[in-house]
Structure 1
Amino acid sequence: MTGVIRLFEDLHAARAFLGRPRQLPSELPDPVRERIRSVFGAELSPLQVVERIITAVREEGDNALRRFTLAFDGIPVEDFRVPEDELVRAAATVPADVLTALRFARDRIERFHQRTLRRSWIEFDRDGAFGQLVRPVDRVGIYVPGGRAPLPSSLLMTAIPAQLAGVRELIVCTPPGRDGRIAPIVAAAAHLLGIRSVYRLGGAQAIAAMAFGTESIPKVDIVAGPGNLFVVLAKRLVYGEVGIDQLPGPTETLVIADDSAHPALCAADLLAQAEHDPLASAILITTDPRLARATIDEIERQLARLESADIARSALERNGAIVIVPDLEQAFELANLFAPEHLCLSIREPWRYLDRVRNAGGVFLGETSPEVIGDYTAGPSHVMPTGATARFASPVTVETFLKVTSVIAVSPEALERLGVPAMQLAQAEGLPAHAAAIEQRLERVPPQ
């Protein structure tokens, strides 16, 4: 450990650190553990807490929601739905420049995702007609974090792709504040997008309510949006009852830098990620030992004037790292091993190396493309795969909210040509009724 962040000069040690499993935390802060004991009367793990919440919501509906909202948020709630006039009044309290920024972000996100729209297709040939019906799901539930840092940007990044996909109904759940109201900036974002079904409800109980439905909360087809440990565990447990976008865990940034990079900017990018969460990961891989050490010094300087320094310092000490490598080929090998949510290329020729990227949620090319722009105004959704799931998962897109139905219409003329080899395969698999279903049709179709 070098100061606030560990420094690796040994590649084997760096590879072991970057390749270690990134699991959701099981240890909870003492105040959270005390609250759990007071609510459930027992010492429970996060998973056990979520299992109990889901069971209660499924069996008791709104009564369970009211009980957990009082227990965890400290307020009694009778009507979970936020009246539309309350959304309008709350939005009116948001500063004009922030509303302008929300509109700007909305327009950028819409323009980007409009380029990705997918259409149904059917192709007719001598064998018949074959294709795909591409349809949106009917209803999507979006979770928007509240509490210390409400995230209206996450609502934009999730709801806009769903709207462009053609989803007929969006509902939003977001935790109430101590005054019983949702964060005005989240209300403003919902109002801006024309979303009227907004509920003051947070935590695992909100996920369970959207997954199973209650007297007040409609059952959805897909639950989307980021959240804390309990929200992510709830999404994992309800998957199968509903679809989910992904399981976004603690956020991550990995910066690859050469000797052309500026240490102050490298430090700023690492701190921008680290201030999210004590469990966030902020990694720098560089070919320049001088840049590595200068970045460490810059981190200390910038931390001294950062309001969120305690959170950022905790994240850097826990999951931060600076790795010195002999060349960029090695840097990209380690980056693909880590499979970060965000990969920033602060190198002299970033476009030259883009094809080296195999595993990343998003790639940010050059020092004028900071990851923070991706959080708000670039256009692609900032809800991206974390925890090395970029090896097989993708960011939220329009396709997240679409489903595909295959279309198969075999012509009479093609029945024998397609049917005979299908019968042979069915018989080889020991499924005689499969083969018979084709054989009986062949007996009824005149030879072509």
Structure 2
Amino acid sequence: MLNRTDLRGKVPSAAELRATLPRAEIDVDAALHQVRPVVEAVRDRGVEAVLEYTEKFDRVRPSTVRVPAEALAKALEELAPEVRAALEESIARARKVHADQRREDVTTQVTEGGTVTERWVPVERVGLYAPGGLAVYPSSVVMNVVPAQEAGVGSLVLCTPPQAEFGGSPHPTTLAAAALLGVDEVWAVGGAQAVALLAYGGTDTDGGELVPVDLVTGPGNIYLTAAKRMLRGLIGIDSEAGPTEIAILADETADAGHVAADLISQAEHDTLAASVLVTTSPELADAVDVELAARVKATKHSERVTTALQGKQSGTVLVSTVDDGLRVVDAYAAEHLEIQTANAREVAARVRNAGAVFVGPYAPVSLGDYCAGSNHVLPTGGFARHSSGLSVQSFLRGIHVIDYSEQALREVSGKVVALANAEDLPAHGEAVTARFEGEK
């Protein structure tokens, strides 16, 4: 069922691997021309433009952007008990992991009378985005909100698309997750217009102020990503998220049913989702194809899954050894990487490039999506070669505080002047020597 690439007996370079391996082709630049008028309209006309585009794209026009407090309370009150219990467990585990990511201020004494302190200060106001297209994502609310709260962010607003099915309100499960986390500001707006409104702010239809944010985090479609790219600088962003992806490095010890089920679980997200198997075993690859044929027919979103698995972004890559497989998955730099090999823990310890690594037969990606305690907002499209997933650190800024005494400055003044003159910036040096003018 999966297309195959045979790299047995070959050791391609990193550049060759990046060109060879299956990957979704997403052209964010091409979406910019469609997004630009949306962003500019929101900048110029505020909420009126937001509601016009909401009506056009989401086929519903909320009476206000901000979701009323009673709607949040009602959504939580009516949440199914088993879903509430699952969300509470997800939140508790995420808090446990993210609390250990907190940074402490550090003061370094550079010289007697001279110190540099690195202070970690949370971003003041953050806009968090939870998608609402093909599925509902209360888990994304958890993954965005928990690290922001653990970082100490004082002001949070959640954006999520309105739903015609719910009379212009966002999906109630998403609202319930926000209420459970203590987020009381939710805007019923999605896509590029959501990012623009978060960046520029505005006045709601009831006269309430929609305060702009400093940072926007959370995944979305290509249009939301294009808006992030366009507005980066006015706001900070976490990343430019592309379609979700899973890579599985497996050998003959892997269970074909487990591998197939995990490939399907990611293909369920989107027709552009990538499911890639890297294996040393042609027999396993054959068995996985057999399992896929049976399981895809039985899954709820069979058509979507089939399109994703048969797309150019998905496939099986055959390699000679696990070492070669590691080179392949490091070049691919998957959002999610599963290791289903003998000595999986040792193999996983050698991985350099992945958003998150799932070790062995009992750590499927879906565990990380919901209840592992890790964060599921992760770099896609090979960005894991240089970027990390969402964490407490994403919401903190390091500020250096320099505190030097007169004597400490005097002792190093000659070095400052020498370097300033070497760069032909004499006024830099004079800013130091001016403090000692008139001295013998």
In structure 1, C-alpha distance between the alignment counterparts of 2:439 and 2:391, rounded to whole Å: 45
TM-superposed CA distance for 1:309, in Å, is 1.3
Counterpart of 2:283?
A: 290
What are the within-5 Å matches in structure 2 for residues 377-396 of structure 1? 377-396=371-390
- Which amino acid is the alignment partner of residue 184 of structure 1? P
TM-superposed CA distance for 1:202, in Å, is 1.1
Counterpart of 2:349?
A: 355
Structure with more relative contact order (C-alpha pairs < 8 Å, separation 6 or more): 2
Deviations 1:128-168 (A, max 9, x none): 12111111011111111113311010010011100111111
Report the 3-state secondary structure (helix = DSSP H, G, I; strand = E; otherwise coil) of the residue aligned with 2:349: helix
TM-superposed CA distance for 1:121, in Å, is 2.3
Report the 3-state secondary structure (helix = DSSP H, G, I; strand = E; otherwise coil) of the residue aligned with 2:403: strand
Counterpart of 1:107?
A: 92
Report the 3-state secondary structure (helix = DSSP H, G, I; strand = E; otherwise coil) of the residue aligned with 1:190: helix
Pair 1:140 & 2:121 matched? no
Counterpart of 1:166?
A: 152
- Contact (CA 8 Å) 1:123, 1:129: kept in 2 or not? yes
In structure 1, C-alpha distance between the alignment counterparts of 2:438 and 2:20, rounded to whole Å: 63
- Output the TM-score relative to the length of structure 1: 0.91
Report the 3-state secondary structure (helix = DSSP H, G, I; strand = E; otherwise coil) of the residue aligned with 1:326: coil
Report the 3-state secondary structure (helix = DSSP H, G, I; strand = E; otherwise coil) of the residue aligned with 1:199: strand
- Contact (CA 8 Å) 1:303, 1:309: kept in 2 or not? yes
- Output the TM-score relative to the length of structure 2: 0.93
The more displaced of 405-414 and 337-346 is 405-414
Counterpart of 2:310?
A: 317
> Against the structure 1 CA distance between its residues 268 and 21, is the aligned structure 2 distance closer, same or farther, given a 3 Å change threshold?
closer
In structure 2, C-alpha distance between the alignment counterparts of 1:423 and 1:412, rounded to whole Å: 16
- Which amino acid is the alignment partner of residue 24 of structure 1? I
Pair 1:9 & 2:6 matched? yes
Pair 1:187 & 2:175 matched? yes
TM-superposed CA distance for 1:416, in Å, is 3.1
Pair 1:409 & 2:421 matched? no
In structure 2, C-alpha distance between the alignment counterparts of 1:66 and 1:128, rounded to whole Å: 55
Pair 1:431 & 2:425 matched? yes
Pair 1:50 & 2:60 matched? no
Counterpart of 1:118?
A: 103
> Against the structure 1 CA distance between its residues 301 and 412, is the aligned structure 2 distance closer, same or farther, given a 3 Å change threshold?
same
Counterpart of 2:77?
A: 92
4+ aligned runs moved over 6 Å, structure 1: none
TM-superposed CA distance for 1:417, in Å, is 3.0
- Contact (CA 8 Å) 1:341, 1:362: kept in 2 or not? yes
- Which amino acid is the alignment partner of residue 156 of structure 2? L
TM-superposed CA distance for 1:114, in Å, is 0.5
TM-superposed CA distance for 1:16, in Å, is 5.7
Counterpart of 1:254?
A: 247
> Against the structure 1 CA distance between its residues 87 and 53, is the aligned structure 2 distance closer, same or farther, given a 3 Å change threshold?
same
- Contact (CA 8 Å) 1:70, 1:76: kept in 2 or not? yes
- Contact (CA 8 Å) 1:18, 1:338: kept in 2 or not? no
- Among 36, 56, 66, the alignment partner of 1:71 is 56
Runs (5+) with no aligned partner, structure 2: 205-209
In structure 2, C-alpha distance between the alignment counterparts of 1:263 and 1:17, rounded to whole Å: 28
- Among 234, 251, 257, the alignment partner of 1:264 is 257
- Among 209, 215, 221, the alignment partner of 1:222 is 215
Deviations 1:374-397 (A, max 9, x none): 000011110000010111110100
In structure 2, C-alpha distance between the alignment counterparts of 1:136 and 1:118, rounded to whole Å: 11
Runs (5+) with no aligned partner, structure 1: 28-44
In structure 2, C-alpha distance between the alignment counterparts of 1:115 and 1:421, rounded to whole Å: 40
**How many correspondences in the alignment?**
426
- Among 124, 127, 130, the alignment partner of 2:116 is 130
Deviations 1:226-275 (A, max 9, x none): 11111111111111001111111101111001111001111111111111
TM-superposed CA distance for 1:18, in Å, is 4.5
Deviations 1:63-107 (A, max 9, x none): 101111111122222311111111111222321100100000000
TM-superposed CA distance for 1:420, in Å, is 1.6
Report the 3-state secondary structure (helix = DSSP H, G, I; strand = E; otherwise coil) of the residue aligned with 2:377: coil
The more displaced of 306-315 and 13-22 is 13-22
In structure 2, C-alpha distance between the alignment counterparts of 1:187 and 1:310, rounded to whole Å: 29
The more displaced of 153-162 and 7-16 is 7-16
- Contact (CA 8 Å) 2:32, 2:230: kept in 1 or not? no
In structure 2, C-alpha distance between the alignment counterparts of 1:146 and 1:16, rounded to whole Å: 31
- Among 191, 205, 208, the alignment partner of 2:193 is 205
Counterpart of 2:138?
A: 152
Question: What value does the CA root-mean-square deviation take over the aligned residues?
Answer: 1.8
Counterpart of 1:31?
A: none
In structure 2, C-alpha distance between the alignment counterparts of 1:337 and 1:8, rounded to whole Å: 15
In structure 2, C-alpha distance between the alignment counterparts of 1:129 and 1:249, rounded to whole Å: 43
